[in-house]
Amino acid sequence: MDDNAVKGTYIADLVVKYKTEFGDQGEARIPVMVEVVAVPQLDLEVKTIPDKIYANSDFTMNVAVTTKNSDLKDAVVRLQLPDGLEGENREILGDLEAGETASINFSLKSPKESGPTTRIYITFTI
- What pLDDT is recorded for position 104? 92
Q: Residues 68-99: pLDDT tens digits?
A: 877 888 888 989 888 888 999 999 988 989 88
Q: Residues 5-25: pLDDT tens digits?
A: 778 888 888 888 878 888 888
- What pLDDT is recorded for position 87? 92
Q: Residues 23-74: pLDDT tens digits?
A: 888 888 888 888 887 776 788 889 899 988 888 889 999 999 998 877 888 8
Residue that wins the pLDDT comparison between 27 and 101: 101
Asked whether the CA dihedral 50, 53, 56, 62 is positive or negative, the reply is positive
CA–CA distance, 85 with 96 (Å, rounded to integer): 29
Say if residues 13 and 29 touch (Cβ distance below 8 Å): yes
